[in-house]
Amino acid sequence: MLDSMEFDDGLDDDPSSFRSPPPPDDRLWRHPTEVLRPKRSVGERLWLVASISGMVGALLATGLVAIAGGFDRGGTERVVERQEVPIQTVSSPSGQSVEDIAQRVRPAITQILVEGKQGDSSGSGVIFRSDGYVLTNFHVIDGADGVKVVCDNGTERTGQVIGSDPDSDVAVVKIDGGPYPVASLGSAAGLRVGQSAIAIGSPLGLAGGPSVTVGVVSALHRRLDTKSGPPLLDMIQTDAPISPGSSGGALLDAGGAVIGLTTAVATADGAQGLGFATPIDVARSSAEQLIADGRVVHVWLGIEGTDVDPQTAQDMAIDGGALVGRVVDGSPAQKGGLQVRDVIVGVDGQPVKTMGALVVALRTRRPGSAVSLNVRRGKDEKRMTVTLIERPANP
Q: Give catalytic residue positions.
A: 139, 169, 247
The span from the CA of 335 to the CA of 373, in Å, is: 13
226 secondary structure, DSSP code: B
> How would you classify the pairing of strands 249-252 and 258-268?
antiparallel
166 preceded by a cis bond (ω within 30 of 0): no
Task: Provide the Cα torsion 84, 87, 88, 94; round to 10°.
Answer: -120
Cβ neighbors of 232 (< 8 A, separation 6 or more) are 80, 169, 223, 224, 226, 263, 264, 276, 278
Cβ burial, residue 310 (10 Å; 0-12/13-18/19+): exposed
Distance between the two ends of the chain, CA-based, in angstroms?
78
Pairwise CA distance, residues 66 & 48, whole Å? 23
d(CA 159, CA 113): 9
